[in-house]
Chain A
Amino acid sequence: MSGVMSDLARQQSEFQRAILTGDDAILAEIPDSPKEKRETLFGVYRYAYASRLVEAMRNDHKLLHIYLGDEMFNEVGHAYVAAYPSHHPNLRWFSSHLPDFLTSAGAYGKYPILADLAALEKALNDAFDAREAPVIGVADMAAFAPEAWAGLTFEPHPSAQRLDLSTNAAAVWLALKAEEDPPEPLSLAEPGRLLVWRQDVTPLFHQLNAEEAMMWDEAASGIPFGVLCSMLATYDDPDGAAARGAGYLHGWITAGLLTGVASGEQSGE
């Protein structure tokens, strides 16, 4: 780009750099106050910057904060602020890269429980203010004739998310939430398969077995009920597959996890 940068643009650039990097060039353009030196006064902005962002992280990750304690959370928070400066006007999304940071940052990646705990809290936060949508009830299913069931497809509630965790972060979360001592962190032989969603206004999570997790994932991608039951038949007793499928479906409906159900015949109308 050509052109002369305006004084205002240059000063804002230097002011921001002074906060983010500690560069003092801007102080040459700031006088001392009658009672205090410019370095101290400018320090109010430097201190407020990181402390406000770390506080936002504490609000979003209350249980990770309890798990780590003040000092360690503060250290994680400041490292995150340095690694992921905010690019969004809304603080609500500032912490959203924390699970990625905890996975990839060398010092923390050795403790996968931290990234998993952060991921679970993030999923619950996202469910909390996810888009509104109606939920279907058991009575809505009565509208379909038995022969139509094989063709039924389902639409998950917008708050619903699947999360696979490699550690016992769910058990740690539950203990911390109940203000109990958390269990020792463990790596799981099989991933912990969670379904996170909002029921009315309350974010919840539910642990799924491998079969139900598979059925949810496939249902969410539009596979009809009859095919889902055939898929279930490959996981366990084939004769009980339809009953198991109906049981999982009933659970999802009563939990408020589904926003829509449609029959194959009607979908073209």
Chain B
Amino acid sequence: MNVASHVPVSAASRSAHSASAAKPEFLGFGLGLRAQHYDEILNGSPAIDWFEVISENYMVPGGQPLRMLDRIRARYPVVMHGVSLSIASTAPPDFEYLGNLRDLARRVEPKWISDHLCWTGVHGKNLHDLLPFPYTREALDHVVGRVQLVQDFLGRALVLENVSTYVQFSNSEMTEWEFLSELSRRSGCWLLFDVNNVYVSAFNHGYDPLTFLEGIPSDRVVQFHMAGHSHMGTHIVDTHDHPVCEDVWELYAAALKRFGRVSTIIERDDHIPPLDEILVEVERTREIARQILPPLVSAAG
């Protein structure tokens, strides 16, 4: 007898209690927290509304990383952004990782927890990369089930980000935006719309980034990422080590028109410049939003 075949209930078959969870609040215009900027942030009062932190950087026993995080958290709203959830992997979930993530969330009380729509390894190995998979109905069922399980484990809705991809699969049955839309609808997860990643994938696979943008439901996006990339001529590599390029700023403006007021950060992972230089980009996210969106109505009014 195959015991596994007799296990009756998959996570996917349970109702998504989180689908009805309240949409996370608008946090304003922020920055991905990097250790190089700790002192400048804590010694100054930079015009940054909130920070996104890489969860894994703080999934350590103690010391300076957690102390700095506590100090930043005391002054700013914080969102936890992971890179190792591997939500689309067919390997069993890493429950030790999930437990550590939950423990960190109890300490940080983040506004939300995000990771990427990708997988990072199977057979016990971790490739530490955001790997693509085919957009099939089989994959959709699998990821919906995993998202529901993780949401139940963490006791909150997840936010998932579209990644930059360099290859597609011949057996895909739907587009990436159709996959993301269905995933969000069925699992109740929210979406992190990485404007740069949409631009990169659209170029690499030869479609119009606006088609992607228009294919995503306007009410499911709770965060934007803005970042730079490296253009190789025939393809673009998502290196997150350059300033945001003009085409991506244009796509950001289009995203604001479609999705409205969405919490935004500038994300830089390598060649990290002084804080002042990045603040110019944070200001630009704020200024473009101010030009495109109607002013916020004052609560007092």
Contact = CB atoms under 8 A, between A and B. Distances in A.
Interface in A41-78: 41-42, 44-45, 48-49, 52-53, 56
Q: How large is the interface on A (under 10, 10 to 19, 20 to 34, 35 or more residues)?
A: 35 or more
Main SS at interface, chain A = helix
A91 B206 contact: no
Contacts of A177: none
Contact of A201 (B64, B90, B138): B64
Given A8-B134, A89-B94, A90-B84, A44 B62 contact: no
Contact of B122 (A12, A33, A89, A129): A12
A206 interface: no
Interface in B148-162: none
Contacts of B127: 16, 19-20, 49, 86
Contacts of A198: 63
Contacts of A29: 134, 169-171
Interface string A7-20: 11101110110011
Interface stretch (B53-61, B187-195, B259-267, B292-300): B53-61
B138 A8 contact: yes
Interface in B205-256: 205-206, 234-235, 237
A15 B84 CA distance: 18
Interface string B94-108: 100100000000000
Contacts of B86: 89
A92 B168 CA distance: 30
Given A20-B125, A41-B204, A87-B125, 16 more contacts: A11-B169, A12-B90, A12-B119, A19-B129, A30-B169, A30-B170, A31-B168, A42-B167, A45-B131, A45-B166, A52-B128, A94-B128, A127-B63, A130-B62, A130-B63, A131-B62
User: Lowest 6 CB-CB distances: which A-B pairs, in order?
Assistant: A89-B84, A34-B206, A9-B90, A132-B62, A129-B63, A129-B60
Interface of B: 2, 4-5, 56-57, 59-67, 84, 86, 89-90, 94, 97, 119-129, 131, 133-134, 136, 138-139, 142, 166-171, 204-206, 234-235, 237
Interface of A: 2-3, 6-9, 11-13, 15-16, 19-20, 29-31, 33-36, 38, 40-42, 44-45, 48-49, 52-53, 56, 85-92, 94, 127-132, 158-159, 198, 201
